[in-house]
Amino acid sequence: MAGQLDPQPDTGAPRGSAQAVKRLGILTSGGDCSGLNAAIRAVVCRAIEGYGWRVFGIKQGTQGLMRRPVDYQELDLGLVNSNMLRLGGTILGTTNKGDPFAFPMPDGSLLDRSEELIEGYRELKLDALIGIGGDGSFAILRRLALQGGINLVGIPKTIDNDVGATENSVGYQSAVEVATEALDRLQPTAASHDRVMILEVMGRDAGHIALTVGIAGGADVILIPEIAYSIESVARHIDKVRRRGRNFALVVVAEAVKDTLGQGVRRRHGMGAETYGGIGHLLGVELARMTGAETRVTVLGHVQRGGEPNASDRLIASTFGVHAVDLVAAGKFDRMVAWQNRRVVDVPLAEAIAMPQRVDPGGTLVHTARGLDISFGDDG
Ligand code: F6P
């Protein structure tokens, strides 16, 4: 249930009060995105100016709490100038690897290092912790909080915009802007060369970026993980567009799409890491073969995560930061700040984790796209 600093439901998580909190920890966890520094800035400003607390930035996500000595930096108002609002990345560093409950050790084994981390929180004598993360990070942080009595408040961030119970997460709007600009730049060159341009965008298991960018950028085809596609259907739609006299077509594909046989594409990186990525090139080859059109592929990748946050992300990050500190002051823990119906609210972290936000195939945006004769590769 969403609340506006309403009484805290009994979740079994620890409680506190403004008087009890003097030392606030903050960390960024999971993949970075634009707007993280704007959120950190807001937290530091509110905590110091509003409540007179000290704020400790933990380095590299939860890993800073595992290191000895604990890896942290005290954040003061001098550091938190207005440049922080614009700065991409995270001054604290982050990681999307190394689950502390199954931490990969050099010999290949997995070790539960959760107690070390909780010990690190205690060593810093923290009274509460604000974690800026996505649903994966929140699941880990919440488990740690319950195990170690950590007073936790979450701020949602992710370009994928798939955190449950919030309409917006920090980073999403900036990623959409970057990808829309890319499509705007691809259209004229597609038209000049009679080409089918394929733009592969990020989105681990969620197609929000692809769907939004495809509509905003005038795509002919949008492929998202929530709707299985067939290559035959995509080729038919491109043939149709060309038969009607258009000399180019634009395809936006989310990296995590699967065809009707459940096949997707994953890429292995150095040191064994595996991510989505590469579907654009596969589509490029297949669509050239099936339609006879010349195809070119652009994979946007991490460009969507870097750079200055746009105005929307600066606003959301600032709002979330202030509200998160106010929650700590009110002793409301085990909650996540959220954006719902044009205002900031807070919801139980468990709710946000339990209900990831995927594209609704029956929702407004899919309906709008179909109304614009955009194909999802499903003959729908
Ligand atoms: O979750 C954010 C995200 O950018 C996904 O869209 C993408 O699949 C993944 O992270 C990439 O992770 P990495 O930074 O490890 O390549």
The domain that holds 205 is classified in CATH as 3.40.50.460
CB 154 within 8 Å of CB 352: yes
**Which numbered atom of ligand 1 lies nearest the CA of 209?**
6
Tell me whether residue 363 is in a domain.
Answer: no
How far apart CA 66 and CA 84 sit, in angstroms, is 27
Whether 140 and 237 share a structural domain: no
- DSSP string for 183-202: HHHHHHHHHHHTEEEEEEE-
Is the pLDDT at 6 greater than 80? The verdict is: no
Tell me whether residue 118 is in a domain.
Answer: yes
Mean per-residue pLDDT, 298-307: 97
Is the pLDDT at 17 greater than 90? The verdict is: no
**Which numbered atom of ligand 1 lies nearest the CA of 305?**
4
How far apart CA 380 and CA 334 sit, in angstroms, is 42
Tell me whether residue 119 is in a domain.
Answer: yes
Tell me whether residue 282 is in a domain.
Answer: yes
Tell me whether residue 71 is in a domain.
Answer: yes
How far apart CA 227 and CA 99 sit, in angstroms, is 30
Confidence of residue 12 (pLDDT cuts 50, 70, 90): very low
What pLDDT digit, counting tens, does each position of 263-275 carry? Answer: 999 998 887 789 9
Number of domains composing the chain: 2
In the residue annotation, 10 being an active-site residue is answered as: no
The domain that holds 144 is classified in CATH as 3.40.50.450
Is the pLDDT at 14 greater than 50? The verdict is: no
Whether 234 and 118 share a structural domain: no
Whether 152 and 183 share a structural domain: no
Q: How far is the CA of 96 from the centre of ligand 1 (A)?
A: 8
Tell me whether residue 291 is in a domain.
Answer: yes
What pLDDT digit, counting tens, does each position of 344-359 carry? Answer: 999 999 999 999 999 9
Tell me whether residue 62 is in a domain.
Answer: yes
The single residue of 32, 127, 135, 160 carrying the catalytic annotation is 160
Whether 342 and 254 share a structural domain: no
Is the pLDDT at 16 greater than 50? The verdict is: no
Give the end of a domain, one of 305, 329, 363: 305
What pLDDT digit, counting tens, does each position of 206-220 carry? Answer: 999 999 999 999 999
- In single-letter form, the type of residue at position 80 comes to V
Tell me whether residue 362 is in a domain.
Answer: no
* This prediction's pTM: 0.94
pLDDT at 270: 80
Give the dihedral sign, CA 60/64/68/71. Answer: positive
pLDDT at 273: 85
Whether 35 and 84 share a structural domain: yes
What pLDDT digit, counting tens, does each position of 51-108 carry? Answer: 999 999 999 999 999 999 999 999 999 878 889 999 999 999 999 998 999 999 999 9
CB 249 within 8 Å of CB 293: yes
Q: Indicate the top mutation candidate among 137, 204, 253, 358 to test ligand 1's pocket, ranked by most ligand atoms within 8 A of CB.
A: 204
Whether 275 and 332 share a structural domain: no
CB 348 within 8 Å of CB 11: yes
32 lines ligand 1 (CB under 6 A): no
Whether 222 and 343 share a structural domain: no
Give the end of a domain, one of 288, 305, 322: 305
Percent of the chain with pLDDT over 70: 95
Q: Which residues are within 8 A (CB) of 101 and not within 5 positions of it... i.e. 6 or more apart?
A: 112, 113, 114, 140, 143
Q: How far is the CA of 31 from the centre of ligand 1 (A)?
A: 6
| Lookup: tokens for 122 | 């205690």
Give the end of a domain, one of 278, 305, 332: 305
pLDDT at 379: 80
| Lookup: tokens for 350 | 């468990």
How far apart CA 249 and CA 241 sit, in angstroms, is 7
Whether 276 and 233 share a structural domain: yes
Whether 228 and 322 share a structural domain: no
Whether 129 and 198 share a structural domain: no
Question: In the chain, how many H helices and how many E strands?
Answer: 13, 15
Residue of the CA atom closest to atom 16 of ligand 1: 275
CB 179 within 8 Å of CB 33: no
Whether 300 and 323 share a structural domain: no
Q: What is the pairing mode between strands 110-111 and 343-348? A: unpaired
Whether 254 and 334 share a structural domain: no
Residue of the CA atom closest to atom 9 of ligand 1: 204
Domain that holds residue 50: 23-170+309-354
Q: How far is the CA of 255 from the centre of ligand 1 (A)?
A: 10
